[in-house]
Amino acid sequence: MTAKTYALDEVEALAQRVLEGAGASAQQAGAVARATRLAERDGIRSHGLMYVPVYAEHLRCGKVLGQAAPQVATPRPGAVHVDAAHGFAHAAIDAGWPAFERAIRAQGIAAMAVFRSYNCGVLGHHAERLAVAGLVGLCFTNAPASMAPVGGARPVIGTNPFALAVPDGAGGARLVIDQSASAIAKSEIILRAREGQPIEPGWAIDADGAPTLDADAALAGSMLPAGGQKGFGMGLMVELFAAALSGGNLGIDASPFSGPKGGPPGTGQFFIGVDPGAFDAQHFAASVERLAGVITDQAGARLPGARRAANRARIEAEGVRIDAALMDRIISA
Taking alpha carbons only, the member of 189, 194, 136, 186 closest to residue 161 is: 186
pLDDT reading at 187 higher than 80: no
Q: How much is the average pLDDT of 87-106?
A: 98
Q: How much is the average pLDDT of 127-144?
A: 98
| Mean pLDDT, all residues of the chain | 95
pLDDT computed for residue 46 by the predictor = 85
Strand partners, 222: 205
Neighbouring CB atoms inside 10 A of 58's CB total 26
Using pLDDT thresholds of 50, 70 and 90, give the confidence band for residue 185.
confident
pTM of the model: 0.94
Neighbouring CB atoms inside 10 A of 148's CB total 21
Please state, in angstroms and rounded to a whole number, the distance separating the CA atoms of residues 136 and 275.
6
Domains and their CATH numbers in the chain: 3-182+225-281+306-331 (3.30.1370.60), 183-224 (3.30.60.50)
Using pLDDT thresholds of 50, 70 and 90, give the confidence band for residue 42.
very high
Please state, in angstroms and rounded to a whole number, the distance separating the CA atoms of residues 217 and 224.
13
Helix intervals (H) in 69-185: 89-107, 123-132
Model confidence pLDDT, tens digit, residues 197-227: 999 999 999 999 999 999 999 999 999 999 9
Helix, strand or coil, per DSSP, at residue 111: strand
pLDDT computed for residue 1 by the predictor = 57
Strand partners, 114: 82, 269
Please state, in angstroms and rounded to a whole number, the distance separating the CA atoms of residues 306 and 65.
36
Please state, in angstroms and rounded to a whole number, the distance separating the CA atoms of residues 139 and 129.
11
Model confidence pLDDT, tens digit, residues 137-164: 999 999 999 999 999 989 999 999 999 9
**Residue 27 parent element (H or E):** helix 26-41
Please state, in angstroms and rounded to a whole number, the distance separating the CA atoms of residues 195 and 248.
33
Label residue 237 exposed, middle or buried (CB < 10 Å: 0-12, 13-18, 19+): middle
Q: What percent of the chain has pLDDT over 90?
A: 93
Catalytic residues: 46-47, 188
Number of helices and strands in the chain (H, E):
11, 11
User: What is the Cα 76 distance to its own chain's centre?
Assistant: 26
Please state, in angstroms and rounded to a whole number, the distance separating the CA atoms of residues 270 and 164.
12
Four-residue CA torsion sign, 297, 128, 238, 154: negative
Considering only the C-alpha atoms of the chain, give the largest distance between any 2 of them, rounded to a whole number of Å. 55
- The per-residue DSSP string of 192-247 comes to HHHHT----TTSEE-TTS-B---HHHHHHSEEPBTTTHHHHHHHHHHHIIIIIITT
Please state, in angstroms and rounded to a whole number, the distance separating the CA atoms of residues 165 and 168.
10
Using pLDDT thresholds of 50, 70 and 90, give the confidence band for residue 66.
very high
